[in-house]
Amino acid sequence: MSEWPLFFQSISFGVVIALIIVGMIGTIIPAIPGTLIVWASVLLYALGDGFTELGWGAFALITLIALVTGTADFWLPLLGAKSTGASRKAMILGPVGALIGAIIGTLIVIGTLPGALIGYALGLFLGQYWETP
């Protein structure tokens, strides 16, 4: 940001800090995509600065951390299910059932979240039932 006048540097830095704070709040409140907002604000800062203050290596590390934390909702339940002895079919059919349940739940007006929860539970049950002899 060194080629910008000091006023615009201060304003842009303030906007980036505000976005990071909103992103941090978003990590607590489920409706706000906190990780994505923090990553986008770091990208905005790095692009505005020409990657002089924040190098490519640091940005790559921040991107890796954002990917791991942003996708943890998908792979952590699978690790938990595996550690408690769930079958491979149950671990596959649970998320598939959640996706199908979310779509059907939206279409028949019970809601996306209830449909996903019912579909996930049904997928786990069917996967475990079909695996058990």
Q: Within this chain, do residues 11 and 64 fall inside the same structural domain, yes or no? A: yes
Question: What would the pLDDT profile of 67-115 be if each residue is shown by its tens digit?
Answer: 998 888 778 887 887 788 888 888 889 889 999 999 999 888 788 889 9
121/93 Cα distance (integer angstroms): 9
1 in a domain, yes or no? no
Question: What would the pLDDT profile of 36-66 be if each residue is shown by its tens digit?
Answer: 999 999 999 998 888 888 889 999 999 999 9
Q: Within this chain, do residues 77 and 110 fall inside the same structural domain, yes or no? A: yes
Give the H or E element holding residue 122.
helix 112-131
What pLDDT is stored for residue 4 in this prediction? 62
What pLDDT is stored for residue 31 in this prediction? 80
12/3 Cα distance (integer angstroms): 13
Q: Which residue segment(s) compose the domain that 36 sits in? A: 6-70
Show which of 26, 51, 70 is a domain's final residue: 70
Q: Within this chain, do residues 96 and 125 fall inside the same structural domain, yes or no? A: yes
- Split into its structural domains, the chain has a count of 2
Q: What pTM was computed for the model?
A: 0.64
Cβ proximity of 116 and 98 under 8 Å: yes
Q: Within this chain, do residues 88 and 65 fall inside the same structural domain, yes or no? A: no
